[in-house]
Amino acid sequence: MTGALTQTDDQQRAGKPRSKSSTKSERVYLNNAAAALMSAETVTAIQSHLQLGRTEGSYRADQRAEPELRRGYQVAAELLGCSAGEVAFTESSSRGWQAILSAMVFAPDDVILTGETEWGGNCTVLVLAAERAGASIRVVPSLDDGTVDVGVLAAAIDVRVRLIALTWVPSGVGIVNPVAAVGALARAAGVPFLLDAAQAVDQLPTDVEAIGCDALAAPGRKWLRGPRGTGLLYVRAAFADRLLPSTSDYLSVTETPEGRNWREGARKFETAERATALRLGFITAIEQQLSCGIEKIQETIGELAEYGRLQLARLPGLKLLESGDPQSGILTLVADKVPATELDRKLARDGVDVAAIGRAFTPIAFAKAGLNDVLRVSPHAYNTRADIDRLVAVLGRELATGVA
């Protein structure tokens, strides 16, 4: 039985009661790995600040919001298991991740280690950084279940390795990489560990100390149910002291006759220009998720994902790509005869929102597996088994009829 945050409970809290059964007239939203649905409270927080700015001006509105903005660092620190000084708010997960990479200095013959399931955007930035410095990238192979081979990773760490960059839960396949084991290796070797947690934070409990990462980036719009244009960046205090941001303004650094003074901790990566309304909405969203209980959210997502796998496995002509344990709330599928893009279009037409994602999302793993695109299904804790049943019914019908 799913019970952490049922769709009925969440919809009632958001002022939109609905029954537990999903009728044909309702849309079923199962694309939370792209962007989850915001709660009514989150939307209200955003709109209230915008309305205040309309009557008092944005700067006065921002001044009024300062206490809440300061409190937001404590809220985010509770979510990530760190101190408030180790948290920065960003415009996206990619913005935070790239800020760390660009603040590092690489030299010829340096090595960056990454995995086969790395996010495509990260791959591009890693290649550019390596090319500029004359460094090289080594891709650590995956085990049969898709997770990074920790044994091979351990053997690859030598004096030339300057960074381990890994994605916790890949965007294009629902496996969960053993990040704590990687963090232990990185700490023992004294190698910085940069973790992309875009698909992990909130659907998995996050404790950066237990993981052992030096920096972690996550967006607001996915499992945390915040607005698009928001993100979190964790930077371990000792690691932050070693980094020099590639961009700055008067908020991140001050110039005095005595010299240049950077803000302490992760906030040296923030700049003065910010979307305050979105940040306030994001803080509200984080608080709501914490109040629900991250472990309960994880349990509910896990139960729905497992139920989905069992039901989808019964459909002829459909293959689920995930294997191993643990698995995340992301299910990826390929059909024998119908392209993922066509299935996505037909499901949307029938009121079921999922996503067709291409090789650009997880290029190394997709190329190795000979995949061009997959259908991705990602339930959240506000979904129900009835939503999964609706997906299976529509998908089964489309698979039976084939491409129109």
In this predicted model, what pLDDT tens digit does every residue of 199-247 receive, in sequence order? 999 999 999 999 999 999 999 999 999 999 999 999 999 999 999 998 8
Q: What is the DSSP string of 162-214?
A: EEEEEESS-SSS-B---HHHHHHHHHHHT--EEEE-TTTBTTB---HHHHT-S
Between helices 294-312 and 385-401, what is the axis angle to 10°? 30
Task: Please write the tens of the pLDDT for every residue from 166-209.
Answer: 999 999 988 999 999 999 999 999 999 999 999 999 999 999 99
Structure tokens of 341? 């893009």
Angle at 211 (CA atoms; ends 209, 216), nearest 5 degrees: 85
55/68 Cα distance (integer angstroms): 20
Instruction: Note whether 380 and 36 are within 8 A (CB).
Output: yes
Which pLDDT score, from 0 to 100, does residue 21 have?
A: 35
Task: Please write the tens of the pLDDT for every residue from 281-310.
Answer: 999 999 999 999 999 999 999 999 999 999
Beta strands in 93-185 (DSSP E): 111-115, 136-140, 161-167
94/86 Cα distance (integer angstroms): 18
125/167 Cα distance (integer angstroms): 14
Question: Which CATH topology does 28-35+294-399 take?
Answer: Aspartate Aminotransferase, domain 1 (3.90.1150)
pTM beyond cutoff 0.75? yes
Domain boundaries, the chain: 28-35+294-399, 42-291
Over residues 52-72, the mean pLDDT reads 96
169/307 Cα distance (integer angstroms): 20
> Which class in CATH covers the domain with range 42-291?
alpha beta
Spatial neighbors of 12 by CB under 8 A, at least 6 apart, are none
Three-class SS state of 260: strand
57/140 Cα distance (integer angstroms): 52
Spatial neighbors of 238 by CB under 8 A, at least 6 apart, are none
